Amino acid sequence: MAAPLLSHRPIALQAPLLRKEIRELASGNALWVLMLLLSPLVGYSFIQAVALYAEASRPARAIPELARQLSSFDGILVPTLGGFYLAITLLFPFIAIRLVAAEKTSGGLKLLVQLPYRLTDLVTAKFVALMAAWLVALIPVLSALIGWVFLGGHLDIRETVTLLLGHMLYALLIGAISFLAAALTEGGATAAILALAVTLGSWVLDFAALDRGGVSSLLASLSLTSLLRPFEQGLLSIPAILAMLVATAGFLALTAIWLPPGTPLKRKLSGSALIIVVAAILIGGAAQANTVLDVTPDRRNSFPPADEHLLSRLREPLSVTVHMATSDPRLVDLDRKVLARLKRAMPRVTVQIADSGQATPLGTAGEADYGEIAMTYRARSATTRSTGAGEILPMLYELAGVSSPPPSTTGSDEPGYPLVADASSSAIWFYGIEPFAVAVAWWLAAGNRRIPWRRS
Amino acid sequence: MILNTPSEAVLSNADSLMSVQGISKAFGDQRVLADISFDVISGEILGLIGPNGAGKTTLLECIAGLLPIDSGEVRWRGAPLSACQRKQLLFYVPEAISPYPDQRSAEVLRFFCEANRQPPKRLDELVAALRLEPALAKPLGALSKGYRRRLLLALGLLAPRPMLLMDEPFDGFDLRQTREVMSLLRDEALHGRTLALA
């Protein structure tokens, strides 16, 4: 019976392991608490977004120019998923931590690591279960989107999928960080503190970057929230996707190293160092991928096609120096409407913010060059104070010695989607029916299940 | 103290199956194991006896690869046995654990049966031999100490490894249950399984 098993290879990820993790997920309280809170949170965000959208739509029904500015994506989807983002940031770590920490504290891990599974299989099964939890958590969001369509609202499939993809990658990254926190610490409470310190620390970095440039801006670009931002603008950012995937895989690999008992500390440290170096190289490489797709139907994040085509042919380095404080709203406007688009359209663009605006107590607004935007191309320079593409692009074309393309005569084909609707009746669903259904599912998962012992 | 009880299987195979050589382990300044060495023969039932705090559990966990050892090594049939290889040959049943408190006994047993690629019949036999039927529908967290101990034994016996390491396998049993479990373990040894009990 007990034949030598040295030739026995570790089995691959299997259904029994995954079923066990799903049972662990369902039998715990964290998922159900998240669902109970998520439903009213998303519902409130959705109802408020629809009300505000209706307010904006009333005058737009008579003015086509106003109507063109109205997008369901910015007006409904992003705000509705804002509540989802909040819940995922604050509550999703608890689900992830439970999947790892429960077995550590109960002693089940000592049994689990002796089963013929690879450590990567164990961590992967837990992660797949976590992805299943995210899909379950998405139910309130999907019901809000269905509700929007039911009210007569417009949804663009490419924008919607891009936004959901961003939120999924964000949640998986949060989950992987939480896994590592649970693997590193002895108790679930300590792991929760560690995971929340990272997620909430990201918010702090973001806030800090609002008023300061330099190192703060650099750190803010590494924050978890900033990774989600392109998706919220309707941009499918390949660098962001690759960076999030690599970071997630890196945190999972670190979890596999730190989770098992019995591994000497020296080996854990050397393995961790290797993973961090490899992940840093891969993320650095991903950042070089300059592919960002504007999936919005009206291409509102991009220059007109004729300009993009012309800009893509300008192969020489373009240097842009902006003399503005990072907290200046004009810089934010310039970045979104000109600089970010230039970076995507031209192969070699360098942007330098020359003045942080916070350096002296006297401020910088009085400095002579404050507000100037200097551009250098082929050793020729020009300066402007305008932050609009209508002035900056012709200046660039003049520096490059090319003619401006003819202005687009058709304009945007998108008519805009104004809608005066009232979603207040959906409160019954979000505040009543859905939480009740969650409570019933929780009760069913917690007990009173009949388990057939013998296989049929 | 280490007690060796040779069974009939030992008589037919006197080669050393596992050899523990000079294992030492310290937690900070406290040295728990100091240069421990012994051999185990195939089919043997080995008893590790000592007062509380003597380091029996630490020794078993070091052998099973669940604790890193400071020095020494474990050999299998004369060859060094790395920590990664140990889970292919050894299975350690810990004592003071309460795994999967929210999952029902039947689910946990079935998972370990399937993970170890054992036929359902083997699970049925162990459930009957350890009298686990009344506990099957209950979550592990609701089991009495005796039932939880029996279930852990079943999980260990479901692992098809040549050697089992068991920490306090009779803890929580009355005399009759102890005899039944001893009989079951002797039967395992007679079939060639080597046991180390602490």
B-chain CB neighbours of A257 within 8 Å are none
Q: How many domains in chain B? A: 1
Chain-wide mean pLDDT for chain A? 86
For residue B155, the model assigns a pLDDT of: 96
Indicate the residue of A1, A8, A447 with minimum beta-carbon distance to B88. A8
Which of A106, A114, A126 is the mutation pick for testing B, counting most B CBs within 10 A? A114
Q: What is the 3-state secondary structure (H, E, C) of chain A?
A: CCCCCCCCCCECCCHHHHHHHHHHHHHCCHHHHHHHHHHHHHHHHHHHHHHHHHHHHHHHCCCHHHHHCCCHHHHHHHHHHHHHHHHHHHHHHHHHHHHHHHHHHHCHHHHHCCCCECHHHHHHHHHHHHHHHHHHHCHHHHHHHHHHHHCCCCCCHHHHHHHHHHHHHHHHHHHHHHHHHHHHCCCHHHHHHHHHHHHHHHHHHHHHHHHCCCHHHHHHCCCHHHHHHHHHCCEEEHHHHHHHHHHHHHHHHHHHHHCCCCCCHHHHHHHHHHHHHHHHHHHHHHHHCCCEEECCCCCCCCCCHHHHHHHHCCCCCEEEEECCCCCCHHHHHHHHHHHHHHHHHCCCEEEEECCCCCCCCCCCCCCCCCCCEEEEECCEEEEECCCCHHHHHHHHHHHHCCCCCCCCCCCCCCCCCCCCCCCHHHHHHHHHHHHHHHHHHHHHHHCCCCCCCCCC
Beta-carbon contacts of A364 under 8 Å, excluding residues fewer than 6 positions away, are A325, A355, A357, A358, A370
Chain-wide mean pLDDT for chain B? 88
Indicate the residue of B96, B99, B192 with minimum beta-carbon distance to A108. B99
Say which residue, B181 or A455, is predicted with more confidence.
B181
For chain A, the residues whose C-beta falls within 8 A of a C-beta of chain B are 1-6, 8, 11, 14, 16-17, 19-20, 23-24, 27-28, 103, 106-108, 110-111, 113-117, 261-265, 446-447, 449, 451, 453-455
How near does any CA of chain B get to the CA of A16, in Å?
A: 6
B-chain CB neighbours of A445 within 8 Å are none
- SS3 of B64, please? helix
Check: CB of residue A311 under 8 Å from CB of residue A346. Answer: yes
Residues A198 and A177: their CA atoms lie apart, in Å, by 8
Check B162 against A14: CB less than 8 A apart. no
Question: What is the amino acid identity at position B140?
Answer: L
CA distances, B150 to each of A110, B108, B132 (Å):
17, 13, 7
User: Pick from A173, A167, A185, A201: which is nearest to A77 by CA?
Assistant: A167
- SS3 of B7, please? coil
Residues A442 and A261: their CA atoms lie apart, in Å, by 33
**CATH number (domain holding residue B25):** 3.40.50.300
**What pTM was computed for the model?**
0.86
Check B66 against A28: CB less than 8 A apart. no
Tell how strand B90-93 and strand B79-80 pair up.
unpaired
Indicate the residue of A17, A23, A116 with minimum beta-carbon distance to B107. A23
Calculate helix-pair angle for A15-27, A119-137, nearest 10 degrees.
50
Check A5 against B89: CB less than 8 A apart. yes
Indicate the residue of A110, A117, A451 with minimum beta-carbon distance to B107. A451
Residues of chain A with pLDDT under 70: 1-13, 208-222, 355-366, 408-414, 447-456
Among chain B residues, the shortest Cα distance to A455 is held by B120
A-chain CB neighbours of B155 within 8 Å are 111
How near does any CA of chain B get to the CA of A263, in Å?
A: 6
For residue A362, the model assigns a pLDDT of: 45
Instruction: For residue A222, count other CB atoms closer than 10 A to its CB.
Output: 13
Average pLDDT over residues B99-103: 90
- SS3 of B187, please? helix
How near does any CA of chain B get to the CA of A412, in Å?
A: 57
- Pull the structure tokens for residue A230: 């392109």
B-chain CB neighbours of A17 within 8 Å are 111, 115
Check B191 against A1: CB less than 8 A apart. yes
Among chain B residues, the shortest Cα distance to A28 is held by B102
For residue A331, the model assigns a pLDDT of: 86
Cα–chain-centroid distance for residue B32? Answer: 20
Beta-carbon contacts of B41 under 8 Å, excluding residues fewer than 6 positions away, are B4, B6, B10, B13, B14, B15, B16, B17, B194
B-chain CB neighbours of A113 within 8 Å are 66, 87
For residue A212, the model assigns a pLDDT of: 56
B-chain CB neighbours of A264 within 8 Å are 68
Domains and CATH numbers, chain A: 15-294+431-446 (no CATH), 305-400 (3.40.30)
- Pull the structure tokens for residue A130: 């976590």
Indicate the residue of A111, A451, A453 with minimum beta-carbon distance to B155. A111
Among chain B residues, the shortest Cα distance to A109 is held by B99
Number of A/B CB contacts below 8 angstroms equals 118
Say which residue, A215 or B102, is predicted with more confidence.
B102
Cβ burial of B129 (10 Å; 0-12, 13-18, 19+) is middle
Indicate the residue of B97, B103, B159 with minimum beta-carbon distance to A107. B97
Indicate the residue of A2, A27, A111 with minimum beta-carbon distance to B103. A27
Which of B7, B17, B67, B88 is the mutation pick for testing A, counting most A CBs within 10 A? B88
Check A16 against B136: CB less than 8 A apart. no
Indicate the residue of B65, B94, B111 with minimum beta-carbon distance to A16. B111
Give the rounded percent of residues in chain B with a pLDDT score beyond 70: 93
CA distances, A378 to each of A42, A317, A396 (Å):
52, 8, 11
Beta-carbon contacts of A290 under 8 Å, excluding residues fewer than 6 positions away, are A239, A343, A344, A347
- In this structure, of A251-255, B28-32, B81-85, the range with the lowest mean pLDDT score is B81-85
Check: CB of residue B88 under 8 Å from CB of residue B60. Answer: no
User: Pick from A112, A258, A264: which is nearest to A176 by CA?
Assistant: A258
For residue A9, the model assigns a pLDDT of: 46
- Segment (H or E) for B176: helix B175-190
For residue A4, the model assigns a pLDDT of: 39
Q: What range does the domain containing B162 cover?
A: 2-197
Confidence of residue B166 (pLDDT cuts 50, 70, 90): very high
Check A110 against B66: CB less than 8 A apart. yes
Residues A420 and A172: their CA atoms lie apart, in Å, by 36
Q: What is the 3-state secondary structure (H, E, C) of B109-153?
A: HHHHHHHCCCCHHHHHHHHHHCCCHHHCCCEHHHCCHHHHHHHHH
